[in-house]
Chain A
């Protein structure tokens, strides 16, 4: 309710949502229940810090050949509330940390 789903593209790292069947998740559950899956997507270019710049430069100069360093990545910084559902055999299941609530470049 609180957060509106940002629609604009290439606007950096944002929370996006998609309506799915629980079976679409391929976690092995047999149920007809559904969910809203929220995920983080978008570029983290804007969030680049001096730290990221240094790493990029050092990698280019091959001073960090052994270590794999990654630039900032658009990831969940908080997860959505748990999701529960009843499967076809009348057994309840609970999914935790399955869906993003907030995103950030980390």
Chain B
């Protein structure tokens, strides 16, 4: 078989690459299984699906996990595949769409969700005057924070097949007096130039320089727990890939299993 890497579908190419890598293949199947197994009265066990999704993004090197989640697309076959990455019918969609502020409240009750949402708001904060459109000028941290939300109640996904707009499974109906606050929250997902640029930059394999601060914008925002999940890219960032920080834990796991 000649490994034909067609130009058309980067998401398909990323899926192929994943299945040729033992770690990615293993953790991919490990979430596809619970996310597609229906139980007696439910479409799946959402809790197990979320847990396995978190494990996938924690253990699989970003080259592979982001490759499938942030692949760049030119046609619907590609964007649909990209939308299916997290198995949205189980991990994302629900019978009812809650109000986003209600969803935020339930997120705050959970330690993982609360800290990852805080990371997301910190690291994907848009800033129109900066080169990258990000206040933090660090795409890698924004992508890490965004992907960190997958597997929490705040799990985001692409909302349509023609754009990079994303949102958690919620809307702002029945917001009452809090409508402005709700829309602000929702638009941080849906209409976030920092996040869109970060996804685009990964998909195109461009803009490596923006991952490192060029002209840091003055900021008083406190550093968050993102640092413990991914060290800020250092000198090893010479190619277009996000540093492969997860190799050692993944290998350690493999050895234990053997």
Whole-angstrom CA separation of A83 from B80 in the bound complex: 21
In the assembled complex, the Cα of A2 lies from the Cα of B253 at a distance in Å of 12
A5 to chain B, nearest CB (A): 13
The answer on a CB contact under 8 Å between B28 and A84 is yes
Known interface pairs A19-B3, A34-B20; A81-B15 also in contact (CB < 8 Å)? no
With an 8 A cutoff between CB atoms, is A58 at the interface? no
Is B258 a contact of A2 with CB atoms below 8 Å? yes
- The segment from B29-37, B133-141, B163-171, B235-243 that touches chain A is B29-37
Encode B116-140 as 1/0 by CB contact (under 8 A) with A.
0000000000000000000000000
**What band does the interface of chain B fall in when counting residues whose beta carbon is under 8 Å from A?**
20 to 34
Q: Verify A81–B22 contact, CB threshold 8 A.
A: yes
Binds B, one of A49-57, A62-70, A86-94: A86-94
**Contact: B1 with A86, CB < 8 Å?**
no
Residues of A within 8 A of B12 (CB): 32-33
- In the complex, the answer to whether B29 meets A84 with C-beta atoms within 8 Å is yes
A19 neighbours in B (Cβ, 8 Å): 1, 3, 20
Name the contact of A33 in the complex, choosing from B19, B26, B87, B255 (C-beta under 8 A): B19
Chain A residues contacting B35 (CB-CB under 8 Å) are 92
> Total interface residues on A, using CB and 8 Å?
20
Q: Provided the pairs A82-B33, A90-B84, A94-B33 are in contact, do residues A2 and B254 lie with their beta carbons within 8 angstroms? A: yes
Asked if A84 meets B32 with Cβ closer than 8 Å, knowing A19-B3, A92-B87, the reply is yes
Q: Within residues 10 to 32 of chain B, which ones have a CB less than 8 A from any CB in chain A?
A: 12, 15-16, 19-20, 22, 25-26, 28-30, 32
Min CB distance A33 to B, Å, is 6
Report Cα–Cα, A81/B255, bound state, in Å: 14
Flag whether B50 is at the interface (Cβ < 8 A): no
Could you say which of B22, B80, B251 contacts A90, with CB atoms under 8 Å apart?
Answer: B80
Q: Are A20 and B1 in contact (CB under 8 A)?
A: yes
B residues apposed to A, CB below 8 Å = 1, 3, 9, 12, 15-16, 19-20, 22, 25-26, 28-30, 32-33, 35-36, 80-81, 84, 87, 251, 254-255, 258
Besides A82-B26, A83-B25, A92-B35, 7 more A-B contacts (Cβ < 8 Å) are A2-B254, A19-B1, A34-B19, A36-B19, A36-B20, A81-B29, A83-B29
Rank and list the top 7 A-B pairs by shortest CB-CB distance, nearest first.
Answer: A84-B32, A82-B29, A84-B29, A81-B26, A34-B16, A92-B36, A92-B32
